[in-house]
Amino acid sequence: DVYEALRAEGNLKIRVYEQCNLPVLEKLRDFLSRGYNTGYGDELFRIGPFKVISDGALGARTAYLREPYTDVPTTCGIPFFSQEELDALILEAHRAGMQIAIHAIGDAGMDMVMNAMEKARRQYPRTGERHGIIHCQITHHDQLDRMKAMDLIAYIQPIFLNYDISIIDDRIGAQRASTSYNWKEFLDKGIPISGGSDCPVEPFSPWLNIYTAVARKDFHRCPEGGYQPEEKMSVYDAVCMFTKNLHYAAGQDAVLGTLEPGKFADMVVIDRDIFKIPADEIMDIQV
């Protein structure tokens, strides 16, 4: 309501693509019955994907894992829905034609989300849906292969490395950590990646996110050489993640994301050439 009021007043100065967190089936059905769906709106305010949060977070040991936490082996984390509940929500949104983007941090949480999406697709085949998973932090090679086969988008937040570098080995052990936060592998497998900030949990700045994707260091520029340096992204790929890729994820790549005839000329001017400076300086970029 607020976004629509701002738009009507001529006071909406940014383009908004709103994820809709509707964790109860009755709320989702009411939302749809009012005529809301992915694509509702115009170039300034548009309703985007159906969203729910399927599990917790790594720091609190509530991300839902296939195997127990290494440092607290009495828990695998918390799934916020049963498989049946998640199936029903995703089926309802998919059947209605909504795009879907579900929060899943743990590997078991990702399994649940992909299981639900597969069931919905079998019942109601669609094309061009651009479904995806938000965060995708604790992963395995088989899950990335499955995401590629399902043509899913990965909504990732590189900035999480700033804190998680210091806890990940303790939380899940070196073996599971070695296949987690592996964004270059996503790219190598051809999985679309859309960048995000997770603001207000983390700072909004895209430069901090691009820095952590490229350098794989915390804000103190540690560790030397970067965490799992084989997973460093190129500056080009990291910039794409926060420009054209996110508009692909929003289904607006025909009009946004690259500077070419026929598209909106949305741009910023920055104080240095991001493609020529050392990776450690990217976090200092100013608009």
Q: What is the pLDDT of residues 236-254, one digit of tens each?
A: 999 999 999 999 999 999 9
Residue 247 backbone zone (phi > 0: left; psi -120 to 50: alpha; other: beta): alpha
Q: Say if residues 103 and 138 touch (Cβ distance below 8 Å).
A: no
pLDDT value of position 107: 98
Instruction: Specify the DSSP class assigned to residue 264.
Output: -
Q: What is the pLDDT of residues 126-153, one digit of tens each?
A: 999 999 999 999 999 999 999 999 999 9
The predicted model scores a pTM of 0.95
pLDDT value of position 285: 97
pLDDT value of position 60: 96
- pLDDT per residue rounded down to tens, the chain (287 residues): 999 999 999 999 999 999 999 999 999 999 999 999 999 999 999 999 999 999 999 999 999 999 999 999 999 999 999 999 999 999 999 999 999 999 999 999 999 999 999 999 999 999 999 999 999 999 999 999 999 999 999 999 999 999 999 999 999 999 999 999 999 999 999 999 999 999 999 999 999 999 999 999 999 999 999 999 999 999 999 999 999 999 999 999 999 999 999 999 999 999 999 999 999 999 999 99
Helices and strands (H and E) in the chain: how many? 11, 6
- Of all residues in the chain, the percent with pLDDT exceeding 70 is 100
Strand 101-104, strand 132-135: pairing: parallel
Q: If residue 111 lies in a helix (H) or strand (E), which one and from where to where?
A: helix 107-123
Long-range contacts of 166-172 (CB under 8 A, 24+ apart): 166/218, 167/58, 167/59, 168/58, 170/70, 170/71, 171/58, 171/61, 171/69, 171/70, 171/71, 172/58, 172/65, 172/69, 172/70, 172/138
pLDDT value of position 121: 97
